[in-house]
Amino acid sequence: MPRPKTRIQQKNSETILEAALEVFSAQGFRGATLDQIAEVAGLSKPNLLYYFPSKEAIHQALLTALLDTWLDPLREINPMGDPVAEIMGYMRRKLELSRDFPRESRLFANEILQGAPRMRAAIEGDMKALVAAKAGVLHGWMDQGRIARVDPVHLLFSIWALTQHYADFDVQVRAVLGDGHDPYAEAEAFLKTLYRKLLAP
């Protein structure tokens, strides 16, 4: 069993992961280097390699934590709740993730655009199973006539696309909207209207 990390080791690991998130989200996996990550972390490259043996190991650690964060809002959909309220809550939580964790969203998007070489097993495993389970919940609500009948998986895909867009294309969104706009407040209001009309039985 590995020995628990000391407080300094834990702090340095967190510093490296924070620096790596900054570099990977800006440069992508291929464009990022260990030298860049070490510089942003304020550590020497040999010191960084004491904690993580490779760029791949750092990237994998970030992605593993990120996938959990990304799936938590979906896990929170309550089969016993009001269907529209539960779906609106999920949409809002996804939008908040984009607002609060834009670098993580771009890291995830970069990984997917590269063919998910380091996440495919997790996507085809835990993520797919969770989506199937929640699609079953949505199907149940549709069968009860509580929401309109739509493809439940594509409904989830649409929520992902329409919320993560605001993180992944932040520069474009803010350039088009101009000053004086809160993209996330406006997006939430629009998406509530969109999904309420879509889901009305």
| CATH code for the part of the protein at 60-199 | 1.10.357.10
State residue 148's pLDDT score: 97
Mind listing the pLDDT tens digit for each residue in 160-185?
999 999 999 999 999 999 999 999 99
pLDDT tens for 82-91 read 999 999 999 9
Domain ranges of the chain: 1-53, 60-199
Helical residues (DSSP H) of 52-182, grouped into ranges: 55-75, 83-100, 102-113, 120-122, 128-143, 152-168, 170-177
Say which CATH architecture domain 1-53 belongs to: Orthogonal Bundle (1.10)
Tokens 């809160």 label which residue? 182
Q: How confident is the model at residue 3 (pLDDT cuts 50, 70, 90)?
A: low
Average pLDDT over residues 62-81: 90
Q: Which residues of 69-100 are buried (b: 16+ CB within 10 A; e: fewer)?
A: ebeebbeebeeeeebbebbbbbbbbbbebbbe
- At 126-161, the pLDDT tens digits run 899 999 999 999 999 999 999 999 999 999 999 999
**Confidence check: pLDDT of 4 > 80:** no
What DSSP character marks residue 124? I
Question: Which of 11, 126, 136, 151 has its CA nearest to residue 70?
Answer: 126
pTM across the whole model: 0.84
**Residue 152 near residue 142 (C-beta atoms within 8 A):** yes
Confidence band of 2 (pLDDT split at 50, 70, 90) = low
Alpha carbon 139 to its chain centroid, in Å, reads: 24
User: What confidence score (pLDDT) does residue 44 get?
Assistant: 92
- pLDDT number for residue 26: 84
Report the distance separating Cα 102 and Cα 25, nearest Å: 9
pLDDT in tens, 14-71: 999 999 988 988 888 888 999 999 999 999 999 999 999 999 999 888 888 888 888 9
Tokens of 67: 């996938």
The region that residue 115 occupies, defined by phi over 0 for left and psi between -120 and 50 for alpha, beta otherwise, is: left
